[in-house]
Amino acid sequence: MFRRILAATALIAMLSPFAAQAAERTVVLNVDNATCELCAPIVKKTLSRVSGVKAVVVQEANGTSGAVATVTFDDAVTNVATLIAASTNAGYPARATKG
């Protein structure tokens, strides 16, 4: 019994640095082709469905042919490349501006 508790404690101690590295991140994406009223909700829904995404805010970009999406996500579950791929696959190519 003592050995099992000791082994479990050692395993938790070894894995805890990996869990500590996971963090919530925010990235801003410039999203192309989002030019109509329905585009922003579609982009928001698409990005929200990516596993690990916590919040999405999409705003029309004035004077451009796109929108700006601010995405908060768990970087242990997903990454910026996956977010860009999801948006692009939905017909709205995106690129990160910061984050």
Tens of pLDDT, residues 34-55: 888 899 999 999 999 999 999 9
Domain count, the chain: 1
The proportion of the chain whose per-residue pLDDT surpasses 90, expressed as a percent, equals 62
Residue 3 lies in a domain: no
Domain residue limits at 37: 22-98
CATH number of residue 91's parent domain:
3.30.70.100
Residue 70 lies in a domain: yes
Do residues 3 and 30 lie in contact, with contact meaning Cβ atoms separated by under 8 Å? no
Residue 5 lies in a domain: no
Q: Is 60 exposed, middle or buried (0-12, 13-18, 19+ CB in 10 A)?
A: middle
H-type alpha helices, 1-99: 2-21, 39-48, 80-89
What mean pLDDT value characterizes the chain?
85
Residue 59 lies in a domain: yes
Residue 62 lies in a domain: yes
Residue 91 lies in a domain: yes
Residue 45 lies in a domain: yes
